Structure 1
């Protein structure tokens, strides 16, 4: 692919003229030569064709370009001088073809220059038009993207505002829920203020739980009448595969009666450290004597807290873990201060010490 010497465009086909002297190539349109005229031209026309620049550099048809004749030697020259008057003749008048050829060449050159300028202008306008069109497309695309970005930014701002409000509302609801859970646990524990749990009593068919409770009262030296018992039954296991027997849930007629029976059981164990309350005291015959535990009936929340406290006491060597009035307490040694385990945060704090 070659570039036209007359215009900035590239020659993409074989419709061009090549100068025989300078080898420059031109579009047929730039040389003002018709394609049909080229086909009807002589065979050697294209091979001998000269561009306007090289054509202007050719010698003219007169003798102006011929070398000056050498002067006659002085010795050989005739010393006779004759003054003659030569008629002045205009060279243009004597050879009109030279004038026409020169004028034609200049006119063609001017025409070619005009064509070149026009072609350059057309090409420049076409390029500018294309650039302007692309710029407008780019501007429209940029405006569209800007509008989309503004919309997304506004949506994001609104979403952030809503998220902030939801976070505050969530924190408020969490705080309220925590407060309600504490109140619910308190009410649940208060509703169990007359209850006791008797644990590890072996299960038998056709057993009489009231008789077992009364026998327990006799053992710890606290008389339990049948009228003092509001409810007595075995509870379901928390873990169905546990080998321990189901606990006996005892509901007495008042918290005071409950506290007296519990205090009597604790006192009995203190007085008999080597023979604490067991199945043998209740007249339950079995191959092995197993201990029996009498504790307060805790709410599910407090049961979980009591289990976590016993685990911590084992890991951190706390000597005492007990329950009083539905509350869990810890004590490191006999002389150390009792620690009220209000919630699991207290256990986490003790675990970090």
Structure 2
């Protein structure tokens, strides 16, 4: 229970009965703390508690003697300070609610700081323990990333070097390709030039006892172009390009000059035009049995022969009427009034449309 400030005689602080032990003066009715009075506590249910007077009321009360009825005088005397008793406890200063509050706050603050410090230490220890594996993994990851980055830089450097080398090789390969293509064309030209005096007699049936020189001379007689012995340098049958081909082996005739070759070709063309129903065939050479056509053409190089076959096939597909060879060169024409196309190589086959 709170006591009003005016009812206290020892101190001016308002305290609470439950936390402070005090006693009431039976004369002035003021309250005094036992701690402020520096006296032992007196039980409330005792007679001394009910008759207790404060020091001020005791000093104000007149001192009477049972034997002397003379009224006392007010005598003012001067006394020195009372000498404190030996081994007496020092006079304690009064404790206020502010002091208690400050003490409680200090204790709580100290306890809170200690608890906070302990909690921080515990948390730091736990976090450090939990983060240690992560720290190790991060260190290993960093080392791995450094290793990978180093390898990547090496690979990138090697890739750039390989790219440069590839570009150089690509340029060299292009140059070599062009060179090879040029050399192939030159070789084909030389091969064709080496055959400039030659003719090829195709589809003439073979005979074990045949005489090719006599056969060639007979060809001249048939077409009306007489050949002398000195005009025929060499003649022989050549191997088939494909063993599965059922056609007879062709006869290659090497003549004395391109002029003689051209004369024979012109005579063959003239003979076939004059005899459209009986063009040059196997019967003209004395072969019995089924009559088979015989062709006299220029002796082409292997490359030109393959190109000629491709041109004939493509012309047939596209409806071209004429395909012919003149001095080793291949030409096609769609009709009599259309322009001819010179088939130089396989790329020019695309012109046949």
TM range (shorter): 0.5 to 0.7
Partner of 2:243: 240
- The gaps in structure 1 that reach 5 residues or longer are 1-62, 93-101
Cα offset for 1:128?
A: 6.3
C-alpha change, 1:64 and 1:144, in structure 2 (3 Å) is farther
Closer/same/farther in 2, CA of residues 266 and 130 from structure 1, 3 Å limit: same
In structure 2, how many angstroms separate the alpha carbons of the residues matched to 1:146 and 1:213? 81
In structure 1, what is the equivalent of residue 219 of structure 2?
216
SS in 2 for 1:285: coil
Rounded to whole Å, the distance in 2 between the matches of 1:168 and 1:317 is 41
Shift of 1:125: 5.0
Instruction: Name the residue aligned to 1:292.
Output: 294
User: 1:191-210 maps to which residues of 2 (within 5 A)?
Assistant: 191-210=194-213
TM-score, normalised on structure 1? Answer: 0.67
Quickly say closer, same or farther: Cα 1:129–1:210, change in 2 above 3 A. same
Which of 333, 338, 341 is residue 340 of structure 2 equivalent to? 338
Matched, 1:305 2:307: yes
Alignment partners' CA distance in 1, 2:344 and 2:267: 27
**2:283 maps to which residue?**
280
TM-score by length of 2: 0.67
- Deviation per residue, 1:104-145 (Å, 9 max, x gap): x99x95866654444344445556666554443333222212
Match of 2:260 in 1: 257
Higher alpha-carbon Rg: 2
Give aligned pairs, total: 273
Structure 1's 239 and 80: CA in aligned 2 closer, same or farther, altered over 3 A? closer
Following superposition, the deviation at residue 327 of structure 1 comes to 0.6
Query: Alignment RMSD, CA only?
Result: 3.7
Q: Return the match for 2:189 from 176, 180, 186.
A: 186
Which position in structure 1 is the counterpart of 2:143? 140
Extract unaligned runs of 5+ from structure 2: 1-15, 30-49, 59-87, 93-103
Q: 1:164 aligns with which of 167, 171, 175?
A: 167
Residue pair 2:315, 2:352 contacting (<8 A) in 1 also: no
CA 117–199 in structure 1, closer or farther in 2 if over 3 Å, else same: closer
